[in-house]
Structure 1
Amino acid sequence: MSGLYLASGSPRRHELLDQVGIAHTVVASAYEESNEVISSPVDMVEAQALGKAKAAIGVPDGSIVLGADTIVVHNGEILGKPATKEDARRMLHALSGDTHSVITGVAIVIGNQEWVFHNETFVHFKTLSIHEIESYIDTGEPMDKAGAYGIQGKGALWVTGIEGSYTNVVGLPVEQVYDTLRQIFG
């Protein structure tokens, strides 16, 4: 088995793989992300994960390339990374006191073989005060995270429960990645 290459600039995905002992090398991807919904949020994240993996830069032939894309979906609306503080504010107000889903598309590519799958976790949020939302936005933490919060950071204070994979909410369902790699390589 050749090395595993993570085609992602996400420090959280890198940390998750390190945390569970999956050796990997981080590489850039030339893939241009688009938040255009193909036919469903699941199809979109799976297509983006595959695009990232296939466009990995500097990966030797025969290597294992891992790509991933995570979104938050609330009442049918896809919430990516906020573009502005106002965008983050709108997202956090929408998520307040409600349940949303976090969907991560994952692609593992080895040569011309592809394994593409997704994971969905339901996250329950407490009702947030205006002060909580404004204070959180002021930290800058929500600006590079889908749905404008990070469960592994200060955003954890608002999560009253989850149904599904915690690591999926962080950005990569490592248990599912591990199981898929075991199936591929025995």
Structure 2
Amino acid sequence: MVDLLRYSLVQRTKLSIPKQVAQPIIAYDFHKECQSVDELEQIKYNHERLMIEALLIRERILFSRNDPRIPNVSAVKLLLAYGKRWIDVDDLDEDRGDTALHIISRSTSSNSQDLLTIIEMLLNAGAHIDFINYYGRTPLDEAVNSDVQMLLQSKQTPPRLKCLCARLIRNYQMFNNYFWPEHGSYE
């Protein structure tokens, strides 16, 4: 974890990207995010402080205000390139069961080219174009931009058997506990 944080700080320094650090709060014992590699080196053996550092970064990223520069092609490219082993492009959000492809397809960003580029990157990273959310809608069903609709239509292929089976299982809510007895209840 320390190596990843160090790398991030070095890249920020090289690219002259300052951090927008939140005001210290009591929940984090009034600690602030590390602003330099030297600050990180001072806490690298303090497990509790490293956890606070991770939580501070998480809050900065996840709880920031809506940024008009999102969707951001560079950020998606970076996440897909360096976060591949931690990221599942078909992971679901808890609210609607949307994948990243659903969310970007629904975007009302005025920069159509960025939307198309991000969709291409997600598809190239293995995102399923036929994944259905909790409402039974695919990314194509969610698309509001005509260019996005055309791109998704052009990328559609006949669904694979495993995707069709997964859709049936989800639609009919057929889960293992209906078909297979629990361990020890074979009598």
**Fold-level similarity (TM above 0.5):** no
TM-score class, shorter-chain normalisation, is: under 0.3
Structure with higher Rg: it is 2
Specify which structure has the higher proportion of helix. 2
- Relative to its length, the structure with more strand (as a share) is 1
Higher RCO, Cα 8 Å, sep 6+ = 1
